[in-house]
Amino acid sequence: MPKGCKYGTHRVIEPKGVLPQPAWKIDNTMEIYDNEILIDVHTLNIDSASFTQIEQETGGDEGKIAQKMLEIVSQRGKHHNPVTGSGGMLVGTVREIGKDLQGKIDLKVGDKIATLVSLSLTPLVINRIKEIRKEIDQVDIDGQAILFESGIYAKLPDDMPETLALAVLDVAGAPAQTAKLVKPGDTVFIIGAGGKSGMLCLHEAKKRAGVTGKVIGMGHSEASCKRILELGLADVMIQGSATEPVDVLKKVEEVTDGELADITINCVNIPNTEMASILATKDKGLVYFFSMATSFTAAALGAEGIGKDVTMIIGNGYTKGHAEISLNVLRENPKLREVFEKLYA
């Protein structure tokens, strides 16, 4: 087979000219191009919104859920729910590596991986549905999938349960970006510090800012603030709501002697927290929005409205090495791993 487009446009059937994700139908022929990877799929982690929709449409009957899933894949060549528009991710074993990629990537046949690109753009064939685990939106199948050259993945580690690894990989971008942004001596302010990505970011921020830096977390509940201080993840915790910018500004001024933060990382998944993030950051500082509830215009006009010269970054879920960096947080921090095992695995 020839070499395909690295983004997979060679498999788009309709409409022409778009990328595989927005495409209605893609080619799921399980014969790989020279720059593709063939995967034997064990488990589909269906996106929660998508799985709930399928459950509701079918009344929760397992036979009908299976039938609906087979229908979607046969119509579209991918498990791209036409109602919710969402996909999910998959776990499988590498079956074959296209010859252009051999020796150029850190994978070999037989490696167990999780794909970190959406099922909504991944060519998929389901031969048989083996087990549906409704409570965690997982479906074991006998099937195959294809990863494009640009497709990202993570080798599943031997030293932690699959569920724990998946919980971390789900938010891998945030701690990896934190690791790349924070420098020794920085004052770092993390909003939504008590959540999954928040705690991973705290660990990386503390490690990179070091003894000359200061890591300030903000959480909503007293319990999560207390837990973070006990874990030693932050130097200071502020309890409050990130939707109250003036209050946040005052508190951050207090704990930084009016200096404010060099870097603010927003991990809180509620709207209207842009102004608090901008106000808490010093001029020429950096605001990194990882929250999917961020409004582009609220951030852009908000900073202009108060004449604040901050660099605002749209959180990219992917950065090189993000899976390795995030999984390693749990290896470095056994106490945090315990919390994650209790809460998310």
Q: Rule CB under 8 A: which residues touch a copy of itself?
A: 7, 9, 17-19, 21, 116-118, 121, 150-152, 173, 244-247, 249, 275, 279, 283, 289, 292, 294-297, 299-301, 303-320
In the bound state with a copy of itself, the residue whose beta carbon lies nearer, of 31 and 309, is 309
In the bound state with a copy of itself, the residue whose beta carbon lies nearer, of 5 and 236, is 5
User: In whole angstroms, how close is the CB of 216 to a copy of itself at the nearest point?
Assistant: 20
In the bound state with a copy of itself, the residue whose beta carbon lies nearer, of 18 and 270, is 18
User: In whole angstroms, how close is the CB of 148 to a copy of itself at the nearest point?
Assistant: 8
User: In whole angstroms, how close is the CB of 108 to a copy of itself at the nearest point?
Assistant: 20
In the bound state with a copy of itself, the residue whose beta carbon lies nearer, of 79 and 206, is 79
In the bound state with a copy of itself, the residue whose beta carbon lies nearer, of 165 and 278, is 278
In the bound state with a copy of itself, the residue whose beta carbon lies nearer, of 58 and 319, is 319
User: In whole angstroms, how close is the CB of 276 to a copy of itself at the nearest point?
Assistant: 10
Residue with tokens 């799921």: 28
Do residues 121 and 28 touch, judged by C-beta distance below 8 A? no
d(CA 246, CA 276): 7
Phi-psi region of 103 (alpha: psi -120 to 50; beta: other; left: phi over 0): left
User: In whole angstroms, how close is the CB of 101 to a copy of itself at the nearest point?
Assistant: 14
In the bound state with a copy of itself, the residue whose beta carbon lies nearer, of 19 and 109, is 19
User: In whole angstroms, how close is the CB of 170 to a copy of itself at the nearest point?
Assistant: 12
User: In whole angstroms, how close is the CB of 261 to a copy of itself at the nearest point?
Assistant: 16
